[in-house]
Structure 1
């Protein structure tokens, strides 16, 4: 049965919405007109979401494709085998090794389609955004940049992160699902972390000289602050918008403008 499912995932990969199967899971992909050497955005769905739905989100995907990026949407695994799909961002010694899986996703796409797996932005929404933060913290060298949306760390926050990163965090001012201050879940069994405390962790990881931002900007609805007096090859920016728990309109172009500026 497992071999049959793997074969089905391979057949027509990247055509007719068919997923591409690799060891440990599957991903969906859409390619720009010229995929050879194309940079990549890997976008991780939220809790209970699906890669298939993510790749069909035209508001987010089409702007990325139009700028020559391949877009990949991996599938999270089902909790307990048959529960909602999500990501193993806390690891806890069990479950899928998401760093290995997502590295494999990028390498597989490079082999099959010729995209550039050295220019990959790992992004994600909500639980996918939490996954982005934890992977960037533990293994910052895995991808070229990180762009979480509406997801940070859980409490207790990590004591520190492994090293400098390029990271662009986007969050809604009125988000009540992942509030800026965090919240309790499961009658206090779990606690989402404070987004601003997470930014402090990233300033430390990037070796920033001061807590104070070095620049402010407004892009459409987004209020942005940047820390640039930090380690070479690092970048840290935070964009706040007036909405709630969504991937906001205009995010894709703003994020790519940032990436192309900081990554060259």
Structure 2
């Protein structure tokens, strides 16, 4: 009995370790600027979803979110979870350098580096790479898309937008699908004050206005509405060639909701060239 329990526990830990590995290799994949974890589908030259963890999280933790990872693998997508760097002022706490004082690493260069590394090691399709992220990772996605939208083929932030002051403008066109919880009180739709008022999360709807301008949309009014399970969706058309903009609300809080992965892939594969 004791031996059986021990074997079961060992199996659990072995499974967790596999979630944090470098494909079929032990440990994380290392590059000059950092590290990443990756799982591959049973397909050659697969597309890739790069997903950035939230504040205080880790790439290891991202890969343990099996309700997100496994549907992506089943759809033929590789899944990558890079590691954020520890903040200089908060040892042991990992996040992303999207705001002054949050770190020194050039995250666009780092994320380009890890994708190029994965393309060389594992045959990832470099032309079909989606950048997603949750919470602080979602903020990072928005800022990278704002500054360098050509870096990835699409951007899919969850529960993260911009900080105040909002960017005056963003580059475009961009293909972006933002998902947010209706009762999110960590990153509320309207934003909130943090750090005794030193930081102010931005308004998600103000961010959508910035993206409409970047995409040259002819109207502020959504072009259409739909529902997918619990998700209430709206999108804008009549925008610049090569752009796409959609917003999905779900009746939950600060989380990556179940069903998000398949909904996101359906959206991406419905885009020209997706």
TM class, shorter-length: over 0.9
Q: 1:95-174 to 2 correspondence within 5 Å?
A: 95-174=104-183
Q: What is the TM-score with the length of structure 1 in the denominator?
A: 0.93
Tell me, yes or no, if the aligned pair for 1:17 and 1:28 is still in contact at 8 Å.
no
The whole-number CA distance in structure 1 between the counterparts of 2:236 and 2:262 is 20
- 2:160 is aligned with 1:180: no
RMSD of aligned alpha carbons:
1.4
CA distance in 1, matches of 2:127, 2:205: 30
* Structure-2 change in CA distance of 1:83 and 1:263 (3 Å): farther
Q: How many residues align?
A: 252
Mapped contact 1:40–1:120 kept (Cα < 8 A): yes
Q: 1:39 aligns with which of 38, 47, 50?
A: 47
Question: Which deviations, in whole Å up to 9, do the C-alpha atoms of 1:210-245 show, x marking residues without a partner?
Answer: 000001000000000000110011000000000000
Which residue of the partner structure matches residue 233 of structure 1?
242
Q: Can you give the 5+ residue segments of structure 1 that lack an aligned partner in the other structure?
A: 1-11
Quick one: structure 1 residues 162 and 68, their matched pair in 2 at CA, closer, same or farther if it must change by over 3 Å? same
What is residue 60 of structure 1 aligned with on the other side? 68
1:71 corresponds, among 69, 79, 90, to 79
Aligned to 1:25: 34
Tell me, in whole angstroms, the C-alpha distance in 2 between the residues paired with 1:17 and 1:41: 21
Q: Deviations over 1:180-216 (max 9, x none)?
A: 0000001100000000000000000000000000010
Q: Deviations over 1:53-93 (max 9, x none)?
A: 10121100000000000000000000117231000012569
SS of 1:54's partner is helix
Give yes or no for contact 1:88–1:131 (8 Å, CA) kept in 2: yes
Structure 2 residue matching 1:111: 3-state secondary structure: helix
Residue by residue, what CA displacement relative to the aligned partner does 1:145-185 show, whole Å, maximum 9, x if unpaired?
A: 00000000000000000111000000000000000000000
1:16 positional shift:
5.9
**Conserved 8 A contact 2:36-2:80:** yes
Moved runs in structure 1, 4+ residues, more than 6 A?
Answer: none
1:261 to partner: Cα distance: 0.5
2:45 and 2:175 map into 1 onto residues whose CA distance is 21
Pick aligned residue for 1:261 from 228, 245, 270? 270
Unaligned runs of 5+ in 2: 1-20
- Deviation per residue, 1:117-141 (Å, 9 max, x gap): 1100000000000000000000000
Distance, in Å, in 1 between the alignment partners of 2:272 and 2:87 is 36
Tell whether the 8 Å contact from 2:33 to 2:110 is kept in structure 1 after alignment. Answer: yes
TM-score (normalizing by structure 2): 0.89
Q: Which moved more, 1:21-30 or 1:85-94?
A: 85-94
Say if 2:46 and 2:77, in contact at 8 Å, map to a contact too. yes
Q: Distance in 2 between matches of 1:171 and 1:127?
A: 13
